Structure 1
């Protein structure tokens, strides 16, 4: 379907002139389903991202979409809408300092203790997988450097989007994605050329990561305890109360002295009493405070 298709254009016009009360209902439904808190100024964003769904389901108004969302289960229309409204933006070794701090400080410190043989890491909101695969490469490089039999990290990665998780598990990335933060050395060492400008993460690395679906508004207590949690660039989409709730529950999943990494523009807010700040020079991490 071409971008200037008249049917799609009319649908976009309908959405950009939606009733404020209907828009509030949509915002509430989205927040309940995913935790995403949309400001009232985001009508154009909604119009842009829902355009294809409106067309595919022959919805002429936002009211029709809302009525169907109320009847949709988590894997139906609701999942499509959450997928459309989720921002999936990431790249390899993003911000760099968490990976340097892990390799140069945390791994040597923790693995020097007799009982610490493996470190459990959770990547929340892993998007298309660059973050957990970056961690897996850090662990593999550490193992190479120190002549370890196996990488010393156990990684679990979660995301709300099944489509993103499918991409993660395939481990296939195109040329543009591979140029964003990945060195040629790591590309040739940990990827296989699968043709047409795409490369696939090697099987050995992919098998190190357990990809699972998780909506952060849901319970994750069954995941067990972690030494490190990456929850970066996702809390900015949630309300202050939900951020505090998620951070408090992450704190419960962290081992004593466990470390949390947030995005560069994110802070602890009302959960600051649960963590102490760690200077990574540059960057900041947060260490779990046990009460």
Structure 2
């Protein structure tokens, strides 16, 4: 079979169809001005699967679930690193965790990293919680990381990091890093086994209810809401709210706000929220 053309173009009609397909399967809204981005991310895929044009690729998507997952992997943006946005972690360490410990909760702390990407956030959570566990005999925890991209979840599950991914954490918290991360600069670093055993990763669409998980004490939903319309953000937030404890905490991204949304959360501080009380009846 001949290879697909390298200069294939995308018609406005095919762009509209692909935007609709992406939204239906991920909830992500690709802006009307982002056609060149979509072409650049998918053109190589057409060559790989030997489809001659985007119309043929769209037909393939309708009957190939594996290719639909590959489309999701290609169009999602995944950039993250350990200890991103220090004030989030300062609040988590200095405010939330002491309150949780003071309440003497007789259960494991449950945390959800709702746009886990390659797993740096979930492993940062694990390191901070493991440090607490070592100093508090009755404290335990579990961390669930979810994402719509199977590609990034493979990286997260492997959990090996180096370079820019770990640089900020290594510099800001050298004692914690040396205590809980093992490895070297050439091969990369992994969290210690006690941490990895408490972190699980799962493929999940934020529009869907998480089965067999929750309720969560803490949800990190950072730098993902910006890819959704206001209406879809509200749907996601209602779903998240339904799976949180009443005294839980939600963290969102530094470029995000819930101020203009009809949201079941109220602010504690910028980018930090708590669930509003659920209405009776």
When normalised by structure 1's length, the TM-score is: 0.87
Match of 1:177 in 2: 165
Q: Which of 191, 194, 199 is the matching residue for 1:204?
A: 194
Match of 2:50 in 1: 58
Match of 1:141 in 2: 131
CA distance in 1, matches of 2:112, 2:13: 39
Give 1:117 shift.
Answer: 4.1
CA distance in 1, matches of 2:275, 2:137: 30
Give unpaired runs (5+ residues) of structure 2. none
Q: Which of 54, 74, 80 is the matching residue for 1:84?
A: 74
Match of 1:277 in 2: 267
CA distance in 1, matches of 2:268, 2:140: 23
Give 1:56 shift.
Answer: 0.4
Contact residue 119 and residue 154 of structure 1 kept, 8 A: yes
Contact residue 207 and residue 239 of structure 2 kept, 8 A: no
The total of aligned residue pairs comes to: 273
Give unpaired runs (5+ residues) of structure 1. 1-6
Contact residue 194 and residue 200 of structure 1 kept, 8 A: no
CA distance in 2, matches of 1:222, 1:92: 27
CA distance in 2, matches of 1:238, 1:48: 21
The Cα RMSD (Å) is 1.9
Equivalent residue of 1:256, what SS? Answer: strand
Give 1:196 shift.
Answer: 2.8
Give 1:78 shift.
Answer: 0.6
Match of 2:217 in 1: 227
Range that drifts further, 250-259 or 192-201 = 192-201
Report runs of 4+ in structure 1 exceeding 6 Å deviation.
none
Contact residue 114 and residue 147 of structure 2 kept, 8 A: yes
> After superposition, what is the alpha-carbon deviation per residue over 1:105-157, rounded to whole angstroms, capped at 9, x for unaligned?
1111122113344321111010011101111111122334xx21365432111
CA distance in 2, matches of 1:210, 1:123: 10
When normalised by structure 2's length, the TM-score is: 0.90
